[in-house]
Amino acid sequence: MATKPPLKPEHLTTRLEFAKEQVTWKDEWKRVVFSDEKIFNLIRPEGFKYYWHDLRDKHLLSRRQFGGDSVMVWAAFYAPGKTRIAFIDGRMNAS
């Protein structure tokens, strides 16, 4: 599982200041869209490290060199509603 370093104190302060500015928003929230994407690996979960099995049975754990099959989905929501889930072909990047 991916981990992130903890936020530095100055980052926490900046986030708190940003949140305090938005507390008084009313109509401004109608112009905000929240979106996210997620990759679901179909072979095994991302960051797979452990698995449970019956110790009386012999098991071989195979490894894939290039990750196997996955599907990426994207969706968003905003004041009037939500988008439909979009299934993304290929890879997404910042551009």
- Count structural domains, the chain: 1
Would you state the pLDDT for residue 46?
59
Across 33-43, average pLDDT: 87
Answer whether residue 10 is part of any domain: no
Rounded average pLDDT over 60-88:
81
95/92 Cα distance (integer angstroms): 8
Residue 73 lies in a domain: yes
**The pLDDT of residue 63:** 56
Structure tokens at 74: 């994207």
Q: Whole domain around residue 61: which residue ranges?
A: 32-95
Burial classification of residue 8, based on how many CB atoms lie within 10 Å of its CB (0-12 exposed, 13-18 middle, 19 or more buried): exposed
pLDDT in tens, 4-34: 889 999 999 999 999 999 999 999 999 999 9
pTM score of the predicted model: 0.58
26 domain residue, yes or no: no
